[in-house]
Amino acid sequence: MQKSIMRQVFEPTLGDVLAARNAIAGTAARTPLAPSPHMTRVAGRDFLLKLEIVQPIGAFKIRGAANAVFNLAPDVGGVTCCSTGNHGRGVAFAAAARGIRAVVCMSSLVPQAKVDGIRALGGEVRIIGKSQDDALAESRRLCAEEGLVEISPFDDPLVIAGQGTIGLEILEERPDIATILVPLSGGGLAAGVALAAKAINPAVRVVGVSMDRGAAMKASIDAGHPVAIEEVASLADSLGGGIGLDNRLTFRLCRDLLDGIVLVSEEEIYEAMQTLYYEDRLVAEGASVVGIAAVQAGKLTDLDDGPVATIITGRNVDMSAFTRVVSGGDVVLGDLTVKGKAHGA
């Protein structure tokens, strides 16, 4: 195996987040931190939305992906990853900017809109199996057989540092933020944001929010070690998948840095998608609205008086599913049907 194929694992620090900011400037946008008047009324304190939906790929994952791809050795000819969609988009975008090949492995649970998005950026797509684990196995096989370099969607120090730039931006703009609500799956976003935000202000609370069907990080932290979960369809499809039984960084970082993990139901995600659309006029994925869902459902009763920010992580939603949600239609998710409901009803 070539030397450049082996990527180093190290413990990311605030210094790595600051370096990531320089590396990705000009590729990832510095995004707005917009007030939500409606959610400010609901929460009873300033409530701000960090709008990662305006990134060039429509999601925050461009930050970590670009940081990882731009730091590769010059002789690397191609990269591969497993993805629930947005990381693949980020990797394809960054690889195209560098003029190298990107092969994205995804399970059949990934919405077609995300597959199309990656192909449109010049990425090669392989649909493998029914879980992120199947996709990861294919990605590992490609590393071994085709000499591609794997870029983990979350368990990578450069990816974590890239996502951490969101924490920097939030606290630079609003040093008074007391709580950050972070959509949580593999934990690259939560680990990066928590490590950056707490390095700047150790009093900031960082709370992860996952869907209650298949919350891998929560189950792992509860068990004391990474555990496998059953992957099921969710409105928050970007939050699906395990954290890897051989997790190197995000399990420990999330366990040590997060102040809590809250779970929300599919009904609560459904209502929060409607809220963001009708009250703030924003189109976003289910994964983006879990922070709003948690507050709206009264699941964050111990918020202190300070301002709250949540990260609106991505907008790459399947539009037929989105229009069904905002028009109050039923949504079928495998064996679960979310009963249709009009906004505010």
> What is the DSSP annotation of 141-203?
HHHHHH-PEE--SSSSHHHHHHHHHHHHHHHHH-TT--EEEEE-SSSHHHHHHHHHHHHH-TT
Q: How far is CA 26 from CA 5, 21, 76, 171, in A?
A: 26, 10, 22, 21
Name which of 219 and 339 has its Cβ closer to ligand PLP.
219
Return the residue nearest ligand PLP (CB atom).
Answer: 314
188 binds ligand PLP, rule: CB under 6 A: yes
67 binds ligand PLP, rule: CB under 6 A: no
Name which of 131 and 185 has its Cβ closer to ligand PLP.
185
Degrees, nearest 5: CA angle 345-39-90: 105
What's the one-letter identity of residue 124?
E
CA distance 287 to 190: 13
Binding to ligand PLP by CB under 6 A, coded x per residue (else -) over 119-158, reads ----------------------------------xx----
In terms of phi and psi (left: phi > 0; alpha: psi -120 to 50; beta: otherwise), the region of 82 is: beta
58 binds ligand PLP, rule: CB under 6 A: no
Select the residue interacting with ligand PLP from 16, 46, 231, 285 (CB under 6 A). Answer: 285
Select the residue interacting with ligand PLP from 36, 55, 80, 86 (CB under 6 A). Answer: 86
CA distance 67 to 316: 21
Name which of 209 and 338 has its Cβ closer to ligand PLP.
209
Name which of 144 and 319 has its Cβ closer to ligand PLP.
319
53 binds ligand PLP, rule: CB under 6 A: no
**Site stretch for ligand PLP (CB under 6 A), options 139-147, 177-185, 255-263, 299-307:** 177-185
**Site stretch for ligand PLP (CB under 6 A), options 93-101, 143-151, 173-181, 188-196:** 188-196
Structural Rg of the chain based on CA atoms: 18
In the complex, the smallest distance separating the C-beta of residue 285 from ligand PLP, rounded to whole angstroms, is 5
Select the residue interacting with ligand PLP from 184, 207, 221, 331 (CB under 6 A). Answer: 184
314 binds ligand PLP, rule: CB under 6 A: yes
Using an 8 Å Cβ cutoff, are 191 and 254 in contact?
A: yes
In the complex, the smallest distance separating the C-beta of residue 190 from ligand PLP, rounded to whole angstroms, is 6
CA distance 186 to 160: 11
213 binds ligand PLP, rule: CB under 6 A: no
In the chain, helix, strand, coil percent, each to 5?
45, 15, 40
Structure tokens at 13: 């620090």
Chain residues binding ligand PLP by CB under 6 A are 59, 61, 86, 153-154, 183-190, 238-239, 285, 287-288, 313-314
